[in-house]
Structure 1
């Protein structure tokens, strides 16, 4: 069996940056073993398998709203093409203030005595969001040494499955300007640091919207690869995330 295969760098317009993911187009259902074998062969954090729900569907077909709808194991995902990227439609997830004393050991294990300005927790995603002091800048977040090795052994394991570090943007600083920065770590599920994470911005979006008084924001995830996201909060309680995409490999997989 020969399958069309792509590697796409998401949330960037430049190859070898952003979040790399493999995309495999399949005509018929593959068994779970085949999915796992292909994913291990790709050796990336994400491998997506796209199959038409109806034989008459076309992978490149557009509806009247220029939107493609994907039925995924995590629910329905809608994507539409914009002039300068692809827009993904996500739900928003609220957070609540987290008592420092309950997570102090986890935070100190990860980042030591770095100054913390706010701590929030998302029960829907089990992500702990730590906002660093406004006295720090982007370079500090980018070069911060984060120790993820001991985190799965902390007392908060079970409650926390991901750690978001975030920082307010720098007005009048670098060009282009960003409203906020972030990094994401999930050693609890085998991801030391994720290059760019769309799902964390379902938390970061509403948090920074309230802090900054803005509905439209530009974000940068400060991983080694780096990635840019345009965040737009909608009146219906959802969020649009726009980012670029660069196809860096296109070929045929023989199974």
Structure 2
């Protein structure tokens, strides 16, 4: 069975930047086990699978090891594929995730913007389990639906954090966001998710559903600029709109191809 496969660098205006995602358009769902194997074979942070469904697109995301509830960069990449390669008409795409509900992507020129639900997070104690996996102690900690968010005093601290992935992998949840007020942008972050098969994610759109409402409250503004400080780096434009977050960025194609898979 031959399937189309695209690889798109998301949240960047140049190839080899941002976060690479694989996108596999389907007419109907494959067995879960086969989609997980494709995600493992691609060995990217996420592979997105999209299926047309009643005027919208159902979407699911797989890391090399698990299916996840929400993924921003692979949704941005999926929107790029639909707009540029799969003949989607207009400037708006409606997605639906079985795990996260309705999602939307729009384009204005080259800029793609996601419309995601905000995360709900609560403060938690700075326990040794949370802090022992990091070389620098954070100022405060929060727990959202799937991730921990640890706040630091400066961009320099976030940049210099040395994660112990073995210790972080023992935390209950998808991963750990580390963040601080930015020097040249409103806020910066990094994201570690060894428990989900991704030690450090280059750019994590879904983490900005937690980051955006937090920093909007801290900075007293609803439109914010963000940078993820991974080796590849990524730039995001974020806006808090009630209980939704708009997450904007650019994307660049890297690979257009075909895979040949067979489930034994």
TM-score using structure 2 length: 0.80
Select which of 96, 102, 119 maps to 1:93: 119
User: What does 1:1-255 align with in structure 2 at a 5 Å threshold?
Assistant: 1-53=1-53, 59-63=86-90, 66-74=91-99, 75-100=101-126, 103-107=127-131, 109-112=132-135, 114-122=136-144, 124-125=145-146, 127-133=147-153, 136-138=154-156, 140-153=157-170, 157-158=171-172, 160-170=173-183, 177-234=184-241, 236-255=242-261
What is the alpha-carbon distance in structure 1 between the residues aligned to residue 94 and residue 252 of structure 2? 21
TM-aligned CA distance change 1:48 to 1:143, over 3 Å: same
Q: Tell me how far 1:26 sits from its aligned partner.
A: 1.9
User: Partner of 1:111: helix, strand, or coil?
Assistant: coil
Q: What are the superposed Cα offsets for residues 96-150 of structure 1, whole Å, 9 maximum, x if unpaired?
A: 22223xx23421x2223x253322222x22x2211111xx334x42232111212
Does structure 2 conserve the Cα–Cα contact (< 8 Å) formed by 1:90 and 1:239? yes
TM-score using structure 1 length: 0.82
What is the alpha-carbon distance in structure 1 between the residues aligned to residue 54 and residue 134 of structure 2? 49
TM-aligned CA distance change 1:189 to 1:42, over 3 Å: closer
Does structure 2 conserve the Cα–Cα contact (< 8 Å) formed by 1:15 and 1:248? yes
Aligned length: 233
Aligned to 1:174: none
Q: Tell me how far 1:41 sits from its aligned partner.
A: 2.3
User: Relative contact order: is structure 1 or structure 2 higher (C-alpha 8 Å, sep ≥ 6)?
Assistant: 1
What is the alpha-carbon distance in structure 2 between the residues aligned to residue 116 and residue 211 of structure 1? 16
What is the alpha-carbon distance in structure 2 between the residues aligned to residue 228 and residue 166 of structure 1? 14
Q: Tell me how far 1:32 sits from its aligned partner.
A: 2.7
Q: What are the superposed Cα offsets for residues 183-242 of structure 1, whole Å, 9 maximum, x if unpaired?
A: 1112222321111111111111011001111110000011111111100111x3211000
Does structure 2 conserve the Cα–Cα contact (< 8 Å) formed by 1:185 and 1:192? yes
If you compute each CA radius of gyration, which structure gives the higher value, 1 or 2?
A: 1
What is the alpha-carbon distance in structure 2 between the residues aligned to residue 86 and residue 137 of structure 1? 26
What is the alpha-carbon distance in structure 2 between the residues aligned to residue 115 and residue 52 of structure 1? 46
- Worse overlay, 216-225 or 80-89: 80-89
Does structure 1 conserve the Cα–Cα contact (< 8 Å) formed by 2:155 and 2:188? no
Does structure 2 conserve the Cα–Cα contact (< 8 Å) formed by 1:94 and 1:206? no
Q: Tell me how far 1:243 sits from its aligned partner.
A: 0.8
